[in-house]
Amino acid sequence: QVRGMLSTVYLDQPGQPVFWLGGAGRAIRVNINPYEPKRVLETSRIVFPDVPGTPEFPYSELIYNTGHLKSGCHDPRGVLMIYGAGIPEGAISEAYDNLDIAPTLYHLLGQPIPEGLTGRVIRELAAEPVAVS
């Protein structure tokens, strides 16, 4: 369902997808499509046609445009969607960043968190470790 919705998101007009979607099995990898810098303006619109209400946003509100062909940055803010055994449905948190992903995954797999690893376990996502066989 998420893959389907993300595949319809477009830039300014249908046929210009915002995201490149890949992955394996039930995992999804999402990248921003690399449009030429002059083609994407701060005022370009990103439209979500399969989301109720068909919301749209200025490009600059959703994507940090560096002016390079492959715009973006490794900002600690972002979106993480995860599901599976041990993950409570509907858990939402805004108090974490990308440094917390690795410790959370170690915890979910019931593995010790390596010493010196920065970040913390996202407790809303990881109430109990999952038995790994």
pLDDT at residue 99 in the model = 82
pLDDT in tens, 18-59: 988 988 777 888 888 877 777 888 789 999 999 889 999 988
Q: Kindly state the tokens that stand for 88.
A: 């409570």
Sheet holding 45-47, edge to edge: 10-11, 45-47, 56-58
Helices assigned H by DSSP within 1-133: 2-7, 59-62, 101-108
pLDDT category at 125 given cuts 50, 70, 90 is low
Are residues 95 and 80 in contact, defined by beta-carbon separation less than 8 angstroms? no
**With a threshold of 0.85, does the pTM exceed it?**
no
pLDDT in tens, 71-117: 455 555 566 777 776 677 777 766 777 788 888 888 888 889 898 88
Alpha-carbon distance 18 to 11, whole Å? 6
